[in-house]
């Protein structure tokens, strides 16, 4: 009854064992490439909708970064840009932050309106006006 070192049980240890075999290395690269591509494609589809579209794209990029150096570099750069944007917006006075928030809400509202209009043929603005007129 032997015990394995913690390194063998960690995900990194498992990935290193897979990479040690040429066939495993190729299978891992292909698997990571396909999984990352599927997650990124899903995120890209979800970007126009309210919700975590960009977060899903970044998750797909993180999956690629497990195996691809260029994805690690892109992920680091993306993280720096997001942190810089966050620092910049939090350094702004509250009226500027409120304006950024309102602009974001208007953008999301326009996306929702356009999505419903294109998907279901329903004009939410006209429906809202009609509902208000009936009250």
> pLDDT tens across 67-93, in order?
999 999 999 999 999 899 999 999 999
Do 84 and 97 lie in a common domain?
Answer: no
Whether the predicted pLDDT of 96 surpasses 60: yes
Long-range contacts of 63-71 (CB under 8 A, 24+ apart): 63/32, 63/35, 63/36, 63/39, 64/32, 64/33, 64/36, 64/40, 66/15, 66/32, 67/28, 67/29, 67/32, 67/33, 68/32, 68/33, 71/36
Do 24 and 79 lie in a common domain?
Answer: yes
Domain hosting residue 101, numbered range: 92-135
Q: Is the pTM of this model over 0.95?
A: no
| Six token digits for residue 14 | 């498992």
Do 75 and 103 lie in a common domain?
Answer: no
Do 97 and 49 lie in a common domain?
Answer: no
Whether the predicted pLDDT of 2 surpasses 70: no
Query: Per-residue pLDDT tens for 14-59?
Result: 888 888 888 888 999 999 999 999 999 999 988 877 778 889 999 9
Do 15 and 28 lie in a common domain?
Answer: yes
Do 86 and 97 lie in a common domain?
Answer: no
Whether the predicted pLDDT of 10 surpasses 70: no
Choosing from 90, 106, 124, the residue where a domain stops is 90
Do 62 and 113 lie in a common domain?
Answer: no
Q: What is the pLDDT of residue 9?
A: 59
Whether the predicted pLDDT of 3 surpasses 70: no
Number of domains present in the structure of the chain = 2
| CA–CA gap between residue 10 and residue 16 (Å, rounded) | 10
Q: What is the pLDDT of residue 108?
A: 81
Q: What is the pLDDT of residue 40?
A: 94
Span 95-121, mean pLDDT? 89
- The gap from C-alpha 41 to its chain's centroid, in whole angstroms, comes to 10
Do 70 and 99 lie in a common domain?
Answer: no
Do 77 and 134 lie in a common domain?
Answer: no
CB atoms inside a 10 Å sphere around CB 105: 11
Do 29 and 6 lie in a common domain?
Answer: yes
CB within 8 A of 80, min separation 6: which ones? Answer: none
Band the pLDDT of 109: cuts 50, 70, 90.
confident
Band the pLDDT of 132: cuts 50, 70, 90.
very high
3-state secondary structure of 54: helix
């Amino acid at each position: 009854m032997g015990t394995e070192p913690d390194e063998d049980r960690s995900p990194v240890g498992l990935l290193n064992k897979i990479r040690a075999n040429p066939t495993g290395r190729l299978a891992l690269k292909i698997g990571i490439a396909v999984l990352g591509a599927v997650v990124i494609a899903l995120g890209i589809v979800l970007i126009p909708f309210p919700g975590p579209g960009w977060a899903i794209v970044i998750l797909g990029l993180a999956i690629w970064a497990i195996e691809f150096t260029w994805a690690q570099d892109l992920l680091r750069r993306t993280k720096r840009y997001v942190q810089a944007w966050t620092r910049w917006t939090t350094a702004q006075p509250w009226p500027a932050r409120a304006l950024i928030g309102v602009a974001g809400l208007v953008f999301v509202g326009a996306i929702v309106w356009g999505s419903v209009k294109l998907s279901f043929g329903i004009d939410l603005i006209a429906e809202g006006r009609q509902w208000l007129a009936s009250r």
